[in-house]
A and B are shown apart, each in its own frame.
Chain A
Amino acid sequence: MGYYDDVYSRYRNFDFDTFFRNVTAADVPAALTRERHSAEDFLTLLSPAAGNHLEEMAQKAHHLTVRNFGRVIFLFTPIYLSDYCENQCAYCGFNVGNPFARKKLNLQELEEEARRIAETDLKHVLILTGESRQYSPPSYIRECVQVLKKYFSSISVEIYPLDTEEYGELVTAGVDGLTIYQEVYHEKRYDQVHLAGPKKNFHYRLDAPERGCRAGMRAVTVGPLLGLDDWRREVFFAGIHADYLQNRHWNVEIGLSFPRFRPHAGDFRPARAVDNRSFIQALLASRLFLPRAGITVSTREDSVLRNHILPLGVTKMSAGSSTEVGGRLEARRQPSQFEIADHRTVGEMKETLLQKGYQPIFKDWHTV
C-alpha cells in the first residue's frame, strides 16, 4: 500500500515514448480546455507536442494561480545546520567522498545565524542537514528547532528520511513542514546516482512524504531533482505523487518543486540537462494538473528567470539564501551544497516583487 503500489506501479512499465509520439497537435488544446485534468491530460501537457502551446498553457496557469493564491509570493530561506553526510550522491557537494572539513552548527552559532535572518523580517525557514544519524540525529534537529522557534513562525525540514514516529517528534517540537525530494523517480537511475549510503533505499525515501503526512505535518513538498533523468517522466511521477498525497491526506497542504541541477564541488555533470523552455513547461503543466498546490522555485534559478516566472504558477520562493553551513556567519567558509544563482538579498527580492505587482508574504503561519 502507498504511492508505489497504488499509483507508481501502474506507470512503472508505461511506454512514455510511444505515448508522447502519439500526442497530436489537436490533443493539447483539447486537454487544455478541460476544467480538471486527468493524469493522462497531465502527460499530454508534458509532451513534446505541448511544447508548442506554452503561451496558451501560461495564460491558463496564470489565471488559475491568481484566482487561487492572489498576487502574492511566499518567501522563506534555508538554514544549513550540518554538512556531515554518509551518502555518496553523485550530484551533491556534501558527498561523503568529497574531502573537506565537515561542520555542524552549535546552538550558539545557530542562534547568531537565526538572529541575522530575523533582521530581514523573514518568518519562515527551512532547515537542512546531510544524512548523518551520528552528527545530526533527530535529537540535534529538535534542539535546533527550540532555538529557531524564538525567531520564526514556521519551521520546515529538508533532511534525510525519518520514521513516522520521528517525524511526529519533530512536529511536537514545533516543525510544521516537510520537504523531501525523491531526486530521481526512475528506480534504476536512482540506484545509479546514489552510489552508496543509506540513501540507496529508494522505497524508504519514496514513502517518507506519506510518513510525514501521517505524523501530522501541516505542509509536505515533494519533487524530483531535474537533470538526472528524462524530465517529462520525472515531473509526471512527482505530479502524480503530489496528487496521490493530496487525495489521501486531504488535510495536509501538498506542494511541488523541481529544483534543477546546479554545479557543485565534484565533477558530476547532468545526464539530461533541462533547458528553460522545458523547465517552464514542467511548471505550467504542474500548475494546470494541481491548481491548488504550492509550487516552490528556489535560488537555484537565476534572478532573470525568477522574475519572468512570477505570473506562471510559482507561489513560494527562497530568498537571501546560503547553501553552506553557517553561511551567514563570519567564520571560515564551508563548501556549499550547490552554487546558488540568484544572489539578491531579501530586501532586493521584496522590492522586485512589489515592482512586478506581487506582494511578498513573510508570514503565513502562526503555530498555536
Chain B
Amino acid sequence: MEDALKIGGKELENRLFIGTGKFSDNRLMEEAIRRSGAQVVTVALRRIDFESSQENILQYVPHECILMPNTSGARNAGEAVRIARVAKASGCGNWVKIEVVPDHKYLLPDNDETVKATEILAGEGFAVFPYINPDLITAKKLKDAGAAAVMPLGAPIGTNRGLETREMIRILINEIALPVIVDAGIGKPSEAAQAMEMGAAAVLVNTAIATAQDPAAMAAAFDLGIKAGRRAYLAGPAATRERAEASSPLTGFLGRE
C-alpha cells in the first residue's frame, strides 16, 4: 500500500476518521461513512446499547471499518479506564480514544487525567488514542506512556472554527514521533486539507459532516480535502514568501567559495 498510515498495529489507506455523535439518523451516518471512505469510526461507549432489541448504533458502522470506542462522559482517568475496559470486554476491539472532558462549557479535555489513563491502558495492551489540548509536554508524556497517536483539538468541539491551534499543532507535528491526528473544530474540507499539508497524519471529523445539509456529500468532500492535503504535504510545498524576491540578491557579491 502506497503511503499507508501505520497506526495501532494496522495499516490505513484513508486518513479521515469519522465521529458518530451528531447524525439525525443512523442510516444517514452509515451512508456518510461509506461515501467518505473512512476506515476508522469512533463511537461513544455511552451510546452503545448492547442489549437493544431493535437498534444498535454498531449495526450502522460498516464491518470493514476499525471501531474506535471513545470514553465520552469520563470525568477522570479512573472512569476512562473503566469505560475502555467495558468496551474491550464487549467485543469492541483494543483501540480506544481517551476523552476525559470534565468541562461542560467548552468541552475541553483534562490533559493530566488523559496521561494517567493512557499509561494504564497502554500497559494493558490497548492502542490508545488520546484527545488533548495541544500541549507539547503532554504529548511527550503520552509518547512515553505508550500512546498510539496524539489527537490535539484544532478548535473546541463543535465550533467548526478550523485550525485555531495551528502553531501548537505544528510544534507537535515537528517534535512528537507519533502520528498527530487533528480532532475537533475542523469545519470545512479546506481546513482539513491545511492540517494535512502541515503534516498531520489524519483528521477526525464529526460535527462538520453530521450537521451538514447533506452529510454524505460533505463526507465525500472531506475525503477529497484530506487526500489533497496529504498529496501536497508529500509533494513538499514551496516556501511561502511575504514579498517578491529581489532579482539582484543582496549577498550576491559574496560569490561561492
Contact = CB atoms under 8 A, between A and B. Distances in A.
A67 interface: yes
A186 interface: no
Contact of B22 (A71, A246, A250, A362): A71
Nearest to A366: B46
Residue among A123, A254, A358, A359 with the highest chain B CB neighbour number at 10 A: A359
Given A67-B207, A71-B210, A365 B46 contact: yes
Interface stretch (B75-83, B221-229, B240-248): B75-83
Nearest to A68: B158
Contact of A123 (B45, B49, B83, B210): B49
A357 B102 contact: no
A246 B75 contact: no
A368 B159 contact: no
Given A123-B49, A250-B102, A292-B104, A368 B86 contact: yes
A251 interface: yes
17 contacts: A67-B159, A67-B207, A70-B22, A70-B207, A70-B210, A72-B21, A72-B22, A72-B23, A121-B49, A121-B54, A251-B102, A292-B105, A358-B24, A362-B52, A363-B46, A363-B49, A366-B45
Interface in A119-140: 119, 121, 123
B48 interface: yes
B26 interface: yes
A361 B47 contact: yes
Interface string A242-279: 00001000111110000000000000000000000000
A363 B104 contact: no
B73 interface: yes
B175 interface: no
Contacts of A253: 104
A364 interface: yes
A292 B107 contact: yes
A66 interface: yes
Contacts of B251: none
A66 to B, nearest CB: 5
A69 interface: yes
A329 interface: no
Interface in B179-235: 207, 210-211
B23 to A, nearest CB: 6
B217 to A, nearest CB: 16
Given A254-B104, A359-B23, A71 B46 contact: no
Interface in B96-139: 102-107
B39 interface: no
B49 A359 contact: no
Contact of B104 (A69, A246, A354, A357): A246
A202 B208 CA distance: 45
B55 interface: yes
B115 to A, nearest CB: 18
A71 B49 contact: no
A250 B104 contact: yes
Kindly state the interface size class of chain B when it binds its partner: 20 to 34
Nearest to B208: A67
B257 interface: no
B26 A359 contact: yes
Contacts of B160: 67
Contacts of A359: 23-26
A66 B211 contact: yes
- 10 smallest beta-carbon distances between A and B, as pairs: A70-B22, A71-B24, A368-B82, A251-B102, A363-B49, A357-B24, A366-B46, A67-B158, A66-B211, A251-B75
Contacts of B59: none
Contacts of A365: 46, 73
A362 B158 CA distance: 22
A222 to B, nearest CB: 14
A253 B25 CA distance: 25
Contacts of A123: 49
Contacts of A251: 75, 102-104
Interface string B151-190: 0000000111000000000000000000000000000000
Nearest to B210: A70
B107 A71 contact: no
Residue among A68, A70, A121, A362 with the highest chain B CB neighbour number at 10 A: A70
Interface in A340-368: 354, 357-359, 361-366, 368
A253 B104 CA distance: 6
Interface in A42-58: none
Contacts of B21: 70, 72
B52 A121 contact: yes
B26 A368 contact: no
B88 to A, nearest CB: 12
A69 B24 contact: no
Contacts of A68: 158
Contacts of A362: 49, 52
A250 B103 contact: yes
Residue among B49, B53, B103, B106 with the highest chain A CB neighbour number at 10 A: B49
Contact of B23 (A71, A246, A364): A71
A67 B212 CA distance: 10
Contacts of A254: 104
A311 B63 CA distance: 33
A252 B105 CA distance: 10
A359 B107 CA distance: 22
A368 B83 contact: yes
Contacts of A354: 24-25
A357 B103 CA distance: 29
